[in-house]
Homo-oligomer: A and B are copies of this chain.
Amino acid sequence: MSDGAPAATLHELMRTQRAIRRLRKEPIPDAVLERILVAGALAPSGGNVQPWRVVVVRDAGLRKAIGDLYRPQWAKYGAGSRKGLSALQDDARAKQERMLEAADYLGEHMGDAPVILVVCFNPGHMAITDANLGRPSVVGGGSVYPAVQNMMLAARAEGVGCVLTTLLCFEENAMKNLLRIPPEWHTCGVIPLGFPERGGYGPTSRRPVKKLAYGDRWGESIKI
């Protein structure tokens, strides 16, 4: 990794890896962007094949075009998410409403983010061991999303806001045409990057370990 990377510890970074959806237009310095991309390049993948690429979109016209594709997708998805609000209790509802407001902001302003990362993958370079199990396959993601998480952790370390969105898979053909992505490569995530407009990174609400980890068998509490 280049010199100049910040020195916060891993756990401080993970504990505060919030989704940041309100981003400033101010450009991201090249050295900062490079450290974020290097972090992705360092991630492990099946057979060390690294079957992903990232198109780093800074051109204003292309960013606007991506924003224009994203806006109606979020409008539709956000409307669906709002339907679930009334079922939530007050605290959870208020929190979800704040998230949706920020997501609405991103829905309108995706194209204003100074950098948009478009993550691509090639299934022909992957051993997808759960391809034929009669249930949705996720294993291909095991060679892509560790790199995504590395880039997002590195962004957090730099104080650069970001969030992973996968809604633009609904516009995959348009995205491939726009960015001249070859037929055998596909898109699996779009990450707007920018310095935070508001408070930025901070504590997150995640489930405690005891709700996510079992001891020896499913449902058995873990003794640690």
Contact = CB atoms under 8 A, between A and B. Distances in A.
**Size band of the A side of the interface?**
35 or more
Q: A interface, by DSSP: helix, strand, loop or mixed?
A: mixed
A52 interface: yes
A53 B214 contact: yes
Given A142-B145, A217-B179, A130 B188 contact: yes
Contact of A9 (B7, B56, B128): B7
A129 to B, nearest CB: 4
A191 B195 CA distance: 35
The number of times this chain is found in the oligomer is: 2
A54 interface: yes
A166 B143 CA distance: 11
B180 A217 contact: yes
Contact of A172 (B17, B57, B133, B145): B133
Interface string A42-67: 11101110101111111100100000
Given A149-B150, A189-B142, A216-B58, A130 B52 contact: no
A96 to B, nearest CB: 9
A85 interface: no
14 contacts: A1-B11, A8-B10, A11-B157, A41-B213, A50-B207, A53-B213, A54-B213, A55-B215, A126-B136, A127-B166, A136-B140, A139-B141, A142-B145, A142-B166
